[in-house]
Structure 1
Amino acid sequence: MKKYFIAGILVWAPLSITVWVIAWGLGLLDGVFGSVIHAIIMVLPHDAAVDVQHFRELPGVGILIVVAVIMLTGVLAISFAGQWWLKVWDKFVNRIPVVRSIYSSVQQVSSTLFSGSGQAFSKALLIRYPHSESWVIAFQTGNPAKEIASKLGEGYVNVFLPTTPNPTSGFFMIVPRAQTIELEMSVEEALKHIVSMGSVPPNNSSGLTSQELPHHF
């Protein structure tokens, strides 16, 4: 019975978690659309508001409209007129005292993560943590800021060390580049390896020999 129960879990657990994540994401998009529709209903006449509410109740409409709005925004953003309006919007938001710090931080992080030219999560690395006799997988996220580089000197790199099994939390660290090992596995394979707590090996990773490891600190 134990063997059959575990086999059933191995079949249903990945499917259930995948469906839950997709449902959560779609529900989030649908909630954004619902908030916009609710604001529109509040300012419309009664008859028009009833029609909009019936339209809102159609399954999947909210998700399709949110995706269409995002795509349309992207098309406008890369056009000349769209870039001009984005600059005007950025100047307006950056004049609001508290909002500007949050907006600019999120904007910089988003640009780094989603831009193809960014350095975020560009490589999977091995670093020593929490002591010199153990190794963990981390992701290179760029180079230190100018002030930090001027105080530490050259040869350092920014890394993000994710936790397991939840890789969305972790530690930002600045480590010597000479004390890191660049892995051949992709970022996706390394992330899968971390989430599985080492139980799922990368597809094309043959491992490292002791001769390939850098010296102790």
Structure 2
Amino acid sequence: MKRYFITGLLIWVPLGITLWVISVLVGTLDDLLFLLPRRYQPTEWLGFHIPGFGVILALSIVLSTGLLTANILGQRLVTMWEEILARIPVVKSIYGSVKQVSDTLFSGSGQAFRKALLVRFPHQDAWTIAFLTGSPSGEVASHLGEEHVSVYVPTTPNPTSGYFVLVPKRDTFELEMSVDDALKYVISMGVVAPSPKAAELRLQSGDEHNRKG
């Protein structure tokens, strides 16, 4: 009975958590409908609530914004908008910081969170998984002497909180596992280890790509 019960849990727990997360996300996006005038809300002209309509609205807004700002006129409007925000005392600090982070994370040419590293943390005799976010520069780099890298060390099981650490590059090892595999490894507290075959396939594809290049 115990074995059957555990087998059932292994099936239902991941499914239940997945459905719960999706439900929370859909419910949060559905709250965006309150931004619409009441006469434009689906419940008014359909007579009933449509779960997930907020997701469609959010996707439409994001795609429309990207479409409008992809040309020269749209970029000028964005620049004017940013100049207005830059003149508001508190808003400019928050918006500027968030924009710099988002530009770094979502830029196709950026290296932030593109590589998983093995670093010494929280002391020299311990190792953990970290993600490369960049390299120190300016005044910070001048005080460090040797070459360092900036890394983000996520906590377990919640990787959204963690530590920003500057570590010597010589004390880091670049891992062949993908960022997704590394996140799974961290969230599962080391239970879900990356497949060696997957790493081997990535190495082979990388070698083939280098030969073609």
Q: Pick the TM interval, shorter chain.
A: 0.7 to 0.9
Shift of residue 105, structure 1, vs aligned partner: 1.0
| CA distance in 1 between partners of 2:84 and 2:108 (Å) | 27
Shift of residue 52, structure 1, vs aligned partner: 6.5
1:6-29 Cα shifts (integer Å, max 9, x gaps): 111110111111111222222222
Q: Which runs of 5+ in 2 are unaligned?
A: 201-213
| CA distance in 1 between partners of 2:17 and 2:55 (Å) | 20
Letter in 2 for 1:180: T
User: Within 5 A, what are the aligned runs for 1:156-167?
Assistant: 156-167=148-159
Judged with a 3 Å threshold, the aligned counterparts in structure 2 of structure 1 residues 51 and 173 are, in CA distance, closer, same or farther, namely: closer
1:107 maps to which residue? 99
1:150-197 Cα shifts (integer Å, max 9, x gaps): 111341000000011111111000000001011111111111111111
Judged with a 3 Å threshold, the aligned counterparts in structure 2 of structure 1 residues 188 and 52 are, in CA distance, closer, same or farther, namely: closer
1:17 maps to which residue? 17
User: Within 5 A, what are the aligned runs for 1:84-95?
Assistant: 84-95=76-87
1:197 maps to which residue? 189
Judged with a 3 Å threshold, the aligned counterparts in structure 2 of structure 1 residues 62 and 156 are, in CA distance, closer, same or farther, namely: same
Native 8 Å contact 2:42 2:49 kept in 1: no
Counterpart secondary structure, 1:141: strand
User: Within 5 A, what are the aligned runs for 1:44-59?
Assistant: 49=39, 53-55=43-45, 57-59=48-50
1:210 maps to which residue? none
| CA distance in 2 between partners of 1:27 and 1:51 (Å) | 15
**Count of matched residue positions in the alignment of Structure 1 and Structure 2:** 196
Question: Please, what TM-score do these two structures have when normalized by structure 2?
Answer: 0.85
Counterpart secondary structure, 2:191: coil
Judged with a 3 Å threshold, the aligned counterparts in structure 2 of structure 1 residues 203 and 72 are, in CA distance, closer, same or farther, namely: same
2:34 maps to which residue? 35
Counterpart secondary structure, 1:167: coil
Q: Which runs of 5+ in 1 are unaligned?
A: 42-48, 207-217
2:66 maps to which residue? 74
Counterpart secondary structure, 2:160: coil
Question: Please, what TM-score do these two structures have when normalized by structure 1?
Answer: 0.84
Deviant stretches of 4+, over 3 Å:
49-53, 55-58
Shift of residue 62, structure 1, vs aligned partner: 2.8
Counterpart secondary structure, 1:198: coil
| CA distance in 2 between partners of 1:52 and 1:129 (Å) | 52
| CA distance in 1 between partners of 2:90 and 2:165 (Å) | 27
RMSD: 1.9
Counterpart secondary structure, 2:157: coil
